[in-house]
Structure 1
Amino acid sequence: MRPSTQQRLHRGIAWIILAGWGAFTIFLVLWVIMASLKSTRSLFGKPFEFPSSPAFINYSKVWVTSHFGEYFLNSLLVVTASVIGLLAVALPAAYVLSRGKFRGRKALLNFFIFGMGIPIPLLFIPLVVMLSEIGLIDTLTGLTLVYLSVSLPFTIYVLQGFFSSLPTDLESAAVIDGCSDWQVFWHVMLPLATPGAATVAILNFVGLWNEYQISLVLISAQENRTLSLGIYSLITSMQYSGGNWPGLFAGVTIVMVPTILIYIFLSDRMISGITMGGVK
């Protein structure tokens, strides 16, 4: 059945909007990278020209002098540990909520859904008090636990929908063969859930990598700062150092590169995981 003229018009408008937005985004990313390779005078004098002699020293200064090397390692450690912990907790929990038959299952699932709607700023005071009581305030361990906690409702909700979309025939066959509930989950359902697990891992990694509010409240020591706090400290220092704009753009590029690479190389897997989880 051929699409009507109106459908083709709507599709064409949608493609134009998406193409325009994509081109604008690519332009901004390339301009930030280009600006990070200029001197301050060249940046303000000729903002849209390619640098004649790229100033890679801007990156070395930011990486060493502004401690972005330490911040990068902190972010990588905290975000990686948070994502691994999320998968370790959310995968079995989501499987039980999707397949288990027990009283209160629906209420428990609704409880996690409710947790997705709580504004993060409302948690600041309780988090500070709790972490201070257990001695984890201003530590990477405390920040990792908070990241894991606030990301858990969304992760369980997505994985529960994904597990619900998987066929039950393989489970039944495994039970008939004598597998326990844990063996069914580990050997049968978990391999099938790999696309969904990859999807939530990518989404959580990107979200936590760029997270700023929680780390600003919980982290104050310089040696524990993440990349987002490094950008903030760089902007603050510019008020007293004359404004190193190329250095700031170099820092922004360092923050952007990992997420851009993830989207470039893993976007197909993420999209397939989302679409598979939406099919019943």
Structure 2
Amino acid sequence: MSTDTRAAITIDRRKGSGPTTRTTKSTGSDKVVGGISHVVLALWAIVVILPMLWTLLGSFKTTTEIFKSPFGLPADWNFNNYVSAWVDNNFGGMFVNTIIVVGCALILVMVLGAMCAYVLARFQIPGGRVVYYLMLAGLTFPPFLAIVPLFFILQSMQLLNTLPGLIITYVAFALPFTVFFLFSFFKSLPYEIQEAAYVDGASEWRTFFQVMLPMARPGMAAVAIMNFLGLWNQFILPISLNTNKDNYVLSQGMASYASSAGYALDFGQMFAAVMITIIPVLIVYVLFQRQLQGSVSQGTSK
């Protein structure tokens, strides 16, 4: 170890001083890298936050006010645009459809994906590696290439233009990523705990749901965030497989509203509809992020 390295790290081993403490001193290069990182992160935050803030302010304005003073504060803070978007343009119904489709698909894909990843990672079964590689192959398959086959499959199952049809399709496309993500996570869990559960008389189902699955909470939370974002923002699948306006989800409803209004588009209502679409994503992300951080800290402390 060099002299500079020894000088940068000091360890307090005094008797009775409690746990060992480690103090590090930042070098000049560390400060430069840290400063550049903070500048880049600040610029990135501005790029993300400013458009969202501008959209939020625009949702309280009229179209005339938006063009007259695009960066100014609204003259009248009211929720007329939100009420009009929610009721008059049926974004309330599309919001409910989206909650149903994404919620059911997310629950199914998390349960099925966790069970599949657990079996493939923890048990030696015939053809297990083939199934795993087929799941990996599903990650390389672009969704738009499957639109035509999916159309005829759902039509033959009488699920075309229905919410259950969308749910099944969402689960099919999200399952490979979920299995791929959770496979290595279940693989890394200690086998001693699983064997201890068997010794205590736990069945395979009880071992999975009461022992192994709680230990996989960090991975489950992380993949749930990514699946939720992907399913909520899905566009190509509903726009191709769901042409019934009564079953529209928010992503295709936004596109339909913008294209049908043409030059007579009410930008205030449009911005309000955008906020209706993105606010649930922000709320769910914050909630899952807190759970993820708590789970990671618990896992590292054990």
Q: TM-score range by the shorter chain?
A: over 0.9
C-alpha distance after superposition, 1:135-171 (max 9, x if no partner):
1111001000000000000011111122122211111
Q: Which has the larger radius of gyration?
A: 2
Q: Letter of the 1:255 partner, please give it.
A: T
Offset at residue 264 of structure 1 (A): 2.4
Larger RCO, structures 1/2 (Cα 8 Å, 6+ apart): 1
Provide the residue aligned with 1:120 in structure 2. Answer: 143
Offset at residue 103 of structure 1 (A): 3.5
1:171 aligns with 2:194: yes
> Could you tell me the percent identity over the aligned residues?
34
Consecutive unaligned residues of structure 1, counting only runs of 5 or more, are none
| Equivalent residue pairs, number | 277
C-alpha distance after superposition, 1:206-237 (max 9, x if no partner):
21111111000001111000001110111012
Q: How does 1:220-235 map to 2 (within 5 A)?
A: 220-235=243-258
Question: In 2 relative to 1, CA 234–8 (structure 1 residues): closer, same or farther, beyond 3 Å?
Answer: same
1:243 aligns with 2:265: yes
Distance 1:128 1:270 in 2: 37
Offset at residue 114 of structure 1 (A): 1.4
Provide the residue aligned with 1:257 in structure 2. Answer: 279
Contact map agreement 1:90 1:155 (CA 8 A) in 2? yes
Q: Letter of the 1:100 partner, please give it.
A: F
Runs of 4+ in 1 over 3 A off after TM superposition: 1-4, 270-278
Picking from 39, 43, 46, the partner of 1:16 is: 39
Contact map agreement 2:217 2:292 (CA 8 A) in 1? no
Distance 1:123 1:275 in 2: 41
Offset at residue 56 of structure 1 (A): 1.4
Distance 1:277 1:191 in 2: 11
Could you say what the CA RMSD is over the residues aligned between the two structures, in angstroms? 2.0
Consecutive unaligned residues of structure 2, counting only runs of 5 or more, are 1-7, 9-24
Distance 2:44 2:233 in 1: 21
C-alpha distance after superposition, 1:169-223 (max 9, x if no partner):
1111112223232222122112212232222222211211111110000011110
Provide the residue aligned with 1:142 in structure 2. Answer: 165
Distance 1:250 1:209 in 2: 17
Provide the residue aligned with 2:110 in structure 1. Answer: 87
Distance 1:10 1:269 in 2: 30
Provide the residue aligned with 2:19 in structure 1. Answer: none
C-alpha distance after superposition, 1:223-261 (max 9, x if no partner):
000001110111012216x12111111110100100111
Q: Letter of the 2:29 partner, please give it.
A: Q
Q: Please say which of residues 255-264 and 186-195 is displaced more in the overlay.
A: 186-195
Distance 1:110 1:7 in 2: 42
What's the TM-score, normalizing by structure 2? 0.86
Distance 1:275 1:146 in 2: 35
What's the TM-score, normalizing by structure 1? 0.93
Offset at residue 271 of structure 1 (A): 5.3
